[in-house]
Amino acid sequence: ERLGNGGLRATFHIEEGDILSVIRDQATRLEPDLLAIGSHGRSVLRHALIGSVAGSLLSNPPVDVLATKPR
């Protein structure tokens, strides 16, 4: 509130489909400056068996990515 809008704009989209495909398609379509993501902090074994959306996006990012992990 103190900083004001500063010309910044946020938009929200709801899409159905494979999460990585949807994120990559939307990044191509919208051309954002930054993609902010969070990770669940799952175990290494679970990550190896299931994979990781955050890990996939960080290893091959469609745009600049800001990632955070749980505390």
How confident is the model at residue 2, as a pLDDT?
59
What stretch of H or E contains 29? helix 19-30
Count of CB atoms within 10 A of residue 64's CB?
10
**Cβ(57)–Cβ(21) below 8 Å:** no
How confident is the model at residue 28, as a pLDDT?
93
- For 9-53, the pLDDT digits (tens) are 777 778 899 999 999 999 999 898 999 888 776 666 655 555 688
What stretch of H or E contains 54? helix 53-59
DSSP summary character for residue 5: -
Structure tokens at 47: 């990550």
Residues 53-60 have a mean pLDDT of 86
